[in-house]
Amino acid sequence: MASVDNPEPTRALILGDNDPLNPNRTHILETIEQVDLNQALKVARAAAEAADAVAMDYFRGDLAVETKDDASPVTEADRACERIIRDTILKVFPDHAIYGEEYGQRGEGRYLWLVDPIDGTRSFIRHLPFWSVQIALMIDGELALGVSSAPAFGETAWAVRGQGAFLGDHRARVREIDDLARADVSFGNLRSLARGEDWPWVGRIVAQAARCRGYGDFYSYHRLADGSQDAVIESDVNILDIAALTVIVRESGGVMTDLAGQPIGLETTSVLAASAPLHEQLRAWLHE
């Protein structure tokens, strides 16, 4: 059984990095020689668990809500969770840089931790369970590790590049599907999609998909990774919202890019995530 103190699935998969199906195995092995991704995963999961406990103490309580410069809400719960995440990571990796939602970036270098202490603050303050703790590690500009913890659901997903994705103790895999008529699609931030030039494309998907939903935030990505959702389309996001989820979706066998088909990076603001065949079909439609 995998846990913070005993991540056997990850260790077992590291021993299998010579798998010919793993195209990144050489780069992964070189990276592991420089930073122990098992240790980094252990620290990330410990930080997420600590933040979970803090967040749940605030959840459903009376919170003073402030409005940030970008018009998004923030509470003391967000700040307290980010502080404990930063403290947990920096205690083990004092030379690593951290970029967080509430306190910005500290340091520079090859190793950059990306932290959204409560992704889904609007749900959090309205006592809805669609919020999560998001922690990712980027190495040399590439996402290498992600932890997405949703304590109100009792659910944690995690992944390390080249080693597979896990939802709890179980391996996560996307459903291989190439037919939109059989696919369940989840949309996020419909307002910004409706204001953009891709709105006719969205309408075509809604008309032809088997089902369309708007779960939002972490939930759609967890469901995509475990095969119970088939595509996620979002706009108006930032890297802190999606960094950990990107690693999880990719390691579960999915493809995750922005709407233009570009890799997820620090400047990403939109998402198209699905199994490879469905992703290809949806991207093709966008350019017809």
Residue 186 contacts residue 220 (beta carbons within 8 Å): yes
Question: Domain 180-286's class?
Answer: alpha beta
* Cα–Cα dist 140/188, whole Å: 29
Nearest to 117 by CA among 171, 202, 48, 184: 48
- What helix, strand, coil percent values describe the chain, rounded to 5? 40, 25, 35
Tens digits of per-residue pLDDT, 43-58? Answer: 999 999 999 999 999 9
Task: Give the Cα-Cα-Cα angle 271, 185, 180 (nearest 5 degrees).
Answer: 110
Q: Identical fold at 8-163 and 180-286?
A: no
pLDDT of residue 173: 98
**pLDDT grade for 75, boundaries at 50, 70 and 90:** confident
**Does position 21 have pLDDT exceeding 60, yes or no?**
no
- For domain 8-163, the CATH superfamily is Fructose-1,6-Bisphosphatase, subunit A, domain 1 (3.30.540.10)
pLDDT of residue 230: 97
pLDDT of residue 25: 43
Q: Where are the domains of the chain?
A: 8-163, 180-286
Nearest to 284 by CA among 259, 255, 249, 253: 259
pLDDT of residue 65: 87
* Cα–Cα dist 182/31, whole Å: 40
Considering only residues 264 and 31, tell me which one the structure prediction assigns the higher pLDDT.
Answer: 264
Tens digits of per-residue pLDDT, 94-104? Answer: 999 999 999 99
Overall average pLDDT of the 271-283 stretch = 96
